[in-house]
Structure 1
Amino acid sequence: MTTTDIIFLDIPAVLPVPFSPNTWKVRLALNYKKLTYVTRWVETTDIASVCTSLGIPPTSTLPDGTPKYTLPALIDNTTSPPALLSDSTPIIEYLERTYRDPDSSRALCVPASRALHALFEYHVAHSITAQLLPVMVMHMHDKKTPRDRVHFRKRTEAAFGKKLEDIELRGKEREEQWKKIEGAFDLLARLMKAGGTTGELFTGSNLSLADCILGGLLLAFRYISPDEAWIKVSAWNDGKWMRCMAVLEEWTAVV
């Protein structure tokens, strides 16, 4: 493959690295599969117009019926016509089908595991990701590009009917919210222990879709909120998530 065969659309930040958990999820998979790709950086403000111009499908529909476009997205020019994909899990499933490793033990998501992975995604989405805005909204805002800060503030304040600064919890309420999130991580650690997993990844030494999902979230913690979220998470469960991050480092290159 040439360097333009696969184009990966990601969201830039004021940091030298991206911080979206969903785009990190796909980047981990691309790097694990050792695929050659280039990143096209698209600010959140421009996602809809860029995806529309490229023919990339929407990921869902807004309440008013208009298409909703989000990143990550991927263009695979090795096929004719090119494969145009959006949404992190469908992209990873496509990569798994199209660039299957001869060693089946290295599969990211074998078909028989999809139901379990769907349950895992549901747990992470509802018990962790959905709980983060009240404790990370200002961290998220500050890491965005100047244009995207305006876009993020406008749509988030419209959704919640209050200023970003008032969405952020403080004091005891903030600590209670972090305790709720810690409980969701406790459950993951207990399940991994009960399953007899050796090593820090869900299926042993090789990456899985579950590891990509959780890894994207851990990377987001580290880059969005290194002075609060990552300090907390890295200390939970006897440092398990810090050790998990150390294993994931092999697949975190940004190209």
Structure 2
Amino acid sequence: MSRYSSRSSHSSTTPAIILYDTPGHTPQPWAPNIWRIRFILNYKRLRYRTQWIEFQDIEATLRSIGAPPSSVRSDGRPVYTLPVIVDPTRNPSRPEILSNPNTIAEYLETYYPARPVFPEGSRAVQSLFVHYVLEVFAKPLLPIMVPLSAKGLPERSQPPFSHSQVANALPPGPHRERAWQLVKEQFDFLASILEKNSFDGDGICAMGHYVSYADFAICSVLLWIENMAPHDGWARVREWNGGRWVRLREKCREYMDVC
């Protein structure tokens, strides 16, 4: 549990949700899909703890606990990725084991409805919004951030493909600047959409005044950039769109405990 959290006062014998995560090169978690779930757990004030798994141990560990695959390849082979949660709190003799961040988010909202991350009537719209964040908004980041993320893993956790990815990382120069320009175009577009909330909110949050699952999806991407590209990436993003992304990060700060 991080120094930012107060959950350490709970008895160690009290059942807690287990969130599986993989470490990077800094103490702060980095993976955006896992941050989405950590935000929900913190926002709902659920008791949980993080179980750290080195990258190369993910599949073996998830198979050993009976976690379902997060997806299936075209050849029928299962794919095991994080996040995964194990929830023994509802039924200690048969804990729920879930993978895939969308499945986990729906589960947590259904069975722990207090402090909803999907405000009433917004689940469909927010699900579409998060799909946009993952499939469109974040897509130009991949050529930049995936090699940096592979490079940022601990040495023994370097996946077999990471050496080629690191070798393909964009060096400083016009190609990298063009890549960041494509990223900025997505940030500019999203800022123009969120700015419409200035008429009945602060123009920062997707739902107006209060953070929700949509904001956690965006902030997860911001933390990915901040942790894996603090100088070349976050130094740029924090200045874009009048500093709105720093303000969104601050809105989400109280839900950044690492337990």
TM bracket (short chain): 0.7 to 0.9
Pairing of 1:67-106 with structure 2 (within 5 A): 67-80=78-91, 81-101=94-114, 106=115
Deviation larger for 80-89 or 199-208: 199-208
* Pairing 1:18–2:29 present: yes
Query: In the alignment, is the contact (CA less than 8 A) between 1:139 and 1:225 conserved in 2?
Result: yes
Partner of 1:237: 241
Pairing of 1:1-255 with structure 2 (within 5 A): 3-80=14-91, 81-101=94-114, 106-110=115-119, 112-153=121-162, 157=164, 164-168=166-170, 170-195=172-197, 196=199, 198-199=201-202, 200-255=204-259
Q: Distance in 1 between matches of 2:25 and 2:171?
A: 24
SS in 2 for 1:227: helix
CA RMSD of aligned residues (A): 2.0
Q: Distance in 1 between matches of 2:47 and 2:123?
A: 26
Q: Distance in 2 between matches of 1:187 and 1:3?
A: 45
SS in 1 for 2:122: helix
Deviations 1:122-177 (A, max 9, x none): 322233332223223442123211122243516xx4xxxxx532342542221121
Query: In the alignment, is the contact (CA less than 8 A) between 2:151 and 2:162 conserved in 1?
Result: no
Q: Distance in 1 between matches of 2:48 and 2:118?
A: 21
Q: Distance in 2 between matches of 1:41 and 1:219?
A: 18
Unaligned stretches of 5+ in structure 1? 158-162
Unaligned stretches of 5+ in structure 2? 1-9
TM-score (norm. length: structure 2): 0.86
Query: In the alignment, is the contact (CA less than 8 A) between 1:93 and 1:109 conserved in 2?
Result: no
Partner amino acid for 1:185? F
Q: How many residues align?
A: 244
SS in 2 for 1:132: helix
Deviation larger for 73-82 or 28-37: 73-82
Structure 1 residue 13 displacement after superposition: 1.5
Structure 1 residue 216 displacement after superposition: 0.7
TM-score (norm. length: structure 1): 0.88
* Identity between Structure 1 and Structure 2 (%): 34
